[in-house]
Amino acid sequence: MEKQKFREFLTTKGLKLTKERDEILHEILIMKKHFDPEDLFVRLKTKGSKVSRASVYRTIPLLVEVGLIEEVERVDRHAHYEKISEDRHHDHMICMKCGKVIEFYSPTLEMLQKEICQKENFKGVRHSLEILGYCEKCGG
Amino acid sequence: MEKQKFREFLTTKGLKLTKERDEILHEILIMKKHFDPEDLFVRLKTKGSKVSRASVYRTIPLLVEVGLIEEVERVDRHAHYEKISEDRHHDHMICMKCGKVIEFYSPTLEMLQKEICQKENFKGVRHSLEILGYCEKCGG
DNA sequence: CTCCATATTGCAATTTAATCTCAGTTACAG
DNA sequence: CTGTAACTGAGATTAAATTGCAATATGGAG
């Protein structure tokens, strides 16, 4: 389970599992969608947590390093993150008009990554495909 | 040619082709690789241009809008742009160790975009695939 | 369980990419 | 040419993200 994974990671690195780190991860885990650091901070505050903005910003890179979350996009001037779902990776389609984000998964794409990397002698770890365009509603 | 395209765009929008805008586009056109706004600014300054940082930042969105350049990645906390090559779109492989960027083109990927979009009723305009991993030198 | 070196925290100050303000300047349609 | 709306540079400003530091908490050693 995610919390266990995080705990192990911290121990291995000689870091400590604090109440703050636990609260932050917990909040991310129960969240459904994208979030940005400020989001997360406000959410925690609202719930009565005493976690500081600094701790949120300091914990996020750790969670990225363990592979529990990933940066999915940059809107305006701030980063957005998302919990990495346990089952499978997915990519995004982003509507250039309304900003709607559609998630999709393509097995072909997963295979394609391997193929492309082989050709360039590159050891691919992960990828992110972003398709920009117009959603159904915004026509185009 | 690019400068002509930019000129037409400006005219259509009721904007003006200034010495600064011309210098900025010119510098981008003669550059080979990625650049970030600060890069561009310093480069112009070095060459004796009087262009201000503000003008660089103000011109970039225009060039993105005409389709002459595109944002290709975010390193740390600043955006990187790249001239859109006339011939064909390409994507990037980025080494997580040394930061090396390998460009590649995959016709399969181009077709795949159409397919995926059709399934979701999304009108895809462009995409960007980023594969993160380790280059030949950095092994993995 | 207690001790304590070391990691961590909150707060506020700081950094830094990017944006904005505004008075003076310039492009360009007519 | 001329008028006017767009543009510019310089520096102030914004806001996301980071950092310094004194106080505090964690968790392994004993």
Would you list the domain boundaries of chain B? 2-83, 91-133
Can you tell me whether residue B78 is helix, strand or coil?
A: strand
Selecting from 1.10.1040.50, 1.10.10.10, 1.10.150.120, 3.40.50.10240, what CATH number does the domain B2-83 have?
A: 1.10.10.10
B108-136: pLDDT as tens digits: 888 889 889 988 899 888 888 989 888 88
Q: Strands (DSSP E) along chain B, which ranges?
A: 69-75, 78-83, 91-95, 101-104, 123-134
Residue B51: count other Cβ atoms within 10 Å of its Cβ: 21
**Is strand D less than 7 A from the beta carbon of A13?**
no
A131 and B124 in contact by Cβ < 8 A?
yes
**Is strand C less than 7 A from the beta carbon of B104?**
no
Looking up tokens 């241009």, which residue turns up? Answer: B49
Q: Give the pLDDT band of residue B75 (cuts 50, 70, 90).
A: low
Q: Which of residues 39-98 of B touch A (CB under 8 A)?
A: 74, 79, 93, 95-96
Can you tell me whether residue A117 is helix, strand or coil?
A: helix
Q: Specify the CATH architecture of the domain A91-133.
A: 2-Layer Sandwich (3.30)
Give how far the C-alpha of residue B58 lies from the chain's centroid of Cα atoms, to the nearest Å: 15
B19-61: pLDDT as tens digits: 999 999 999 999 877 899 999 999 999 999 999 999 999 999 9
Distance CA A28, CA A33 (A): 9
Interface test with B, best of A75, A95, A113, A131 (most B CBs within 10 A): A131
**Is strand D less than 7 A from the beta carbon of A79?**
yes
Distance CA A133, CA B122 (A): 7
Q: Evaluate whether B81 touches B60 at the Cβ level (below 8 Å).
A: yes
Position B125 scores a pLDDT of 84
Buried b (16+ CB within 10 A) or exposed e, A98-113: eeebbebebeebeebb
End-to-end Cα distance, chain B: 43
Q: Count, in order, helices (H) and strands (E) of chain A.
A: 5, 5
Amino acid in the structure at residue A30: I
Position B89 scores a pLDDT of 78
